[in-house]
């Protein structure tokens, strides 16, 4: 055995073993199985199907060489079909895509199928399910049929197809890639597909378009050569590459991808034909392994069918089985359905500090749940029915874990979400100034705050706040009465204020003291001189 093939064969063996042993019962059906649903009112093939708001719209197609414009709406909940407004231009083999809940039908075969020149169109007609009305938009530059279309980043990529050969009653396969922008109603051309094909189908994986299978004429008139190629287009860099081919070359089959919500995200190719048979195959593509695996066979082998996906359930609709145009609707439960855990996001609380005690618990779950609970700070689980409020949460750090059980029994947890509660304002202790009279006009402030802060300031005598970085000198204060209040905002936005301190500025009266001293001195001197003048003089006596 070729050693290079060994890893590939091991992968196939492991995946095949998984397929053969996994049968997950859901809604009365097992995974990787087909069931028959209510048929359409009109048998047809070459139709287009699209999903809008949980409903499938089957549009156009052909029946015994008659081009149809019929529009039918399928409700999978009630398993019923309803007739809607017909497409203005009856046709088959057109591209179909959904953008902003409107269905775009582009190109296709119209009118008399034997009129090779006028029988192919580039028309773009748009259906709005909300109003049940049709509108016409800018036509595709290259009229063609049996092409495929996919939507990436709000633009519609129309790829491949066929056009009239021009010299004989035959068609030419195309490698054309043309892009329609619904917002501007305009078309642009992109890099051509490496292998021109008609009757191909496409689906999107991780923002890339996978174009699968198809046929080539090789200029041999009506003789078709079927190909099984998987050609991948990357819209981001306008480049093509190739991936693993289908196990068996097929043309005019249908493809779709599951989303990964209730079934693993994978690409499915259903039905089709080659030169020898009408296929009943269901092929499953594992993009990470780049391998195709065979799933359960579709009950009705056919070509020209269409494939739609709702909630990761596939619906194969219409087609041609070699003898009859079909009205059949068959439902496929994909591999791994119901085994994907739900996705859970805790939107609130966030990893931050709250300044209030009642914290909203807000969750985002991507599908219905049968049970939701939470554990706060390792305490017992509390069962809830949805978003709620964590009431009277205490000060300090906390953590919460949320648990969800979905309708399939899968459980998921959020992991630890950490947050804190801090409703206390910063406490400010003023050391200076004090409630007293100061003899100088420059006062040194001194205060302390009991926690880190984002802002500090003071208001003197009721004036606007002055921002400070710490203790400051209150300079050249006017004589008289003053008051001051200090403020601080902590790191989560709580604002604290100190007590208001009242104080006086009264400088020592030096000039007055000197004046008084001078007056006292002068007065004392004057009194001394006065008293001295009034003192009596002693009389002298003569000695006899």
Residue 104 and residue 155: Cα distance in Å, rounded?
A: 11
Among 460, 453, 396, smallest CA distance to 428 is for 453
Neighbours of 344 (CB within 10 A): 20
Residues 425, 444: Cα–Cα separation, whole Å: 25
Q: What is the pLDDT of residues 267-278, one digit of tens each?
A: 999 999 987 899
Burial-class residue 276 by CB neighbours within 10 Å (0-12, 13-18, 19+): exposed
The phi, psi pair for 406, rounded to 5°, reads -90, 180
Taken in order of first residue, the domains within the chain and their CATH numbers are: 17-37+256-316+325-337 (no CATH), 344-421 (2.60.40.10), 428-505 (2.60.40.10)
Cis peptide before 433 (omega within 30 of 0): yes
Tens of each residue's pLDDT in the chain, 544 residues: 444 444 444 443 343 433 333 333 444 468 999 999 999 999 999 999 999 999 999 999 999 879 999 999 999 999 999 999 999 999 999 999 999 999 999 999 996 545 545 589 999 999 999 999 999 999 999 999 999 999 999 999 999 999 875 545 567 899 999 999 999 999 999 999 999 999 999 999 999 999 999 999 755 455 678 999 999 999 999 999 999 999 999 999 999 999 999 999 999 999 999 878 999 999 999 999 999 999 999 999 999 999 999 999 999 999 999 999 999 999 999 999 999 999 999 999 999 999 999 999 999 999 899 999 999 999 999 999 999 999 999 999 999 999 999 999 999 999 999 999 999 999 999 999 999 999 999 999 999 999 999 999 999 999 999 999 999 999 999 999 999 999 999 999 999 999 999 999 998 665 455 556 667 777 777 777 767 666 555 444 444 4
Q: Which tokens hold the place of 332?
A: 């496929």
Q: Which two tokens stand for residue 196?
A: 């021109």
> Which residue is it, tokens 């601080």?
488
Q: Are strands 186-189 and 201-205 parallel, antiparallel or unpaired?
A: unpaired
CA distance 421 to 389: 14
Residue pair 285/266 in contact (Cβ under 8 Å)? The answer is yes
Separation between Cα atoms, residue 35 and residue 264, nearest integer Å = 20
CA–CA gap between residue 424 and residue 422 (Å, rounded) = 6
Report the C-alpha gap between 47 and 306 in whole angstroms: 7
Per the CB < 8 A criterion, the answer to whether 294 and 267 are in contact is: no
Burial (CB count <10 Å: 0-12, 13-18, 19+), residue 271:
buried
- The dihedrals phi and psi of 290, each to the nearest 5 degrees, come to 55, 50
Distance CA 119, CA 382 (A): 66
Is the separation of the CB atoms in 138 and 106 below 8 Å? no
Cα-based distances in Å from 161 to 46, 85, 151, 249, 486: 13, 27, 17, 17, 78
Per the listing, tokens 């301190």 go with 501
Task: Give the pTM.
Answer: 0.76
Query: How distant, in Å, are the alpha carbons of 28, 43, 316 from that of 46?
Result: 31, 11, 12
**What is the DSSP code string of 303-350?**
BS-EEEEETTEEEEEEEE-SS-EEEEEEEEE-TTTT-SPPPEEEEES-
Residue 279 has what DSSP assignment?
Answer: -
Look-up: residue for tokens 């196990």? 247
């Amino acid at each position: 055995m070729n050693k290079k093939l060994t890893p590939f064969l091991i992968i196939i063996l492991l995946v095949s073993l998984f397929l053969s042993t996994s049968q997950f019962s859901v809604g009365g059906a097992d995974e990787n199985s087909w069931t028959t649903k209510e048929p359409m009112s009109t048998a047809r093939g070459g139709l287009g199907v699209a999903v809008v708001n949980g409903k499938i719209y089957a549009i156009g197609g052909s029946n015994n060489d008659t081009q149809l414009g019929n529009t039918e709406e399928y409700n999978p909940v009630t398993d019923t079909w309803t007739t809607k407004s017909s497409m203005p231009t009856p046709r088959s083999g057109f591209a179909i895509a959904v953008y902003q809940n409107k269905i775009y039908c582009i190109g296709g075969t119209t009118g008399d199928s034997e009129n090779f020149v006028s029988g192919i169109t580039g028309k773009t007609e748009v259906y709005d399910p909300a109003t049940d009305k049709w509108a016409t938009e800018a036509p595709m530059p290259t009229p063609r049929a049996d092409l495929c279309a996919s939507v990436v980043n709000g633009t519609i990529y129309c790829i491949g197809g066929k056009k009239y050969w021009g010299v004989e009653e035959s068609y030419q396969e195309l490698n054309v890639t043309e892009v329609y922008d619904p917002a501007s109603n305009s078309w642009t051309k992109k890099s051509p597909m490496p292998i021109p094909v008609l009757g191909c189908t496409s689906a999107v994986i991780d923002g890339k378009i996978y174009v699968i299978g198809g046929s080539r004429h090789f200029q041999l008139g009506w003789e078709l050569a079927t190909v099984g190629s998987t050609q991948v287009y990357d819209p981001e860099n306008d480049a093509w590459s190739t991936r693993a081919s289908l196990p068996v070359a097929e043309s005019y089959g249908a493809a779709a991808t599951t989303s990964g919500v209730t079934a693993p995200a994978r690409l499915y190719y259903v039905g089709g034909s080659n030169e020898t048979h009408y296929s009943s195959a269901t092929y499953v593509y594992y993009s990470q392994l780049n391998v195709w695996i065979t799933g359960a066979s579709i009950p009705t082998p056919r070509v020209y069918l269409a494939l739609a996906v709702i909630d990761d359930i596939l619906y194969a609709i219409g087609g041609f089985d070699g003898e009859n145009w079909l009205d059949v609707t068959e439902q496929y439960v994909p591999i791994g359905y119901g085994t994907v855990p739900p996705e859970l996001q805790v939107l609130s609380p966030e990893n931050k500090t709250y300044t209030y005690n009642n914290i909203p618990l807000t969750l985002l779950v991507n599908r219905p749940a049968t049970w939701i609970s939470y554990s706060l700070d390792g305490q017992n689980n509390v069962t809830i029915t949805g978003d709620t409020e964590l009431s009277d949460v205490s000060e300090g750090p906390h953590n919460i874990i949320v648990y969800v059980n979905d309708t399939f029994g899968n459980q998921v947890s959020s992991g630890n979400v950490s947050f804190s509660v801090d409703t206390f304002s910063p406490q400010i202790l003023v050391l200076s100034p004090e409630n007293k009279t100061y003899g100088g006009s420059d006062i040194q402030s001194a205060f302390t705050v009991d926690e880190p802060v984002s802002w500090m300031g003071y208001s003197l005598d009721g004036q606007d706040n002055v921002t400070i970085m710490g203790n400051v000198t209150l300079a050249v204060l006017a004589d008289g009465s003053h008051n001051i209040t200090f403020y601080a905002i902590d790191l989560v936005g709580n604002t604290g204020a100190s007590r208001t301190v009242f104080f006086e500025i009264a400088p020592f009266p030096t000039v007055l003291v000197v004046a008084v001293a001078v007056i006292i001195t002068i007065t004392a001197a004057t009194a001394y001189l006065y008293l001295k003048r009034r003192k009596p003089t002693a009389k002298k006596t003569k000695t006899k």
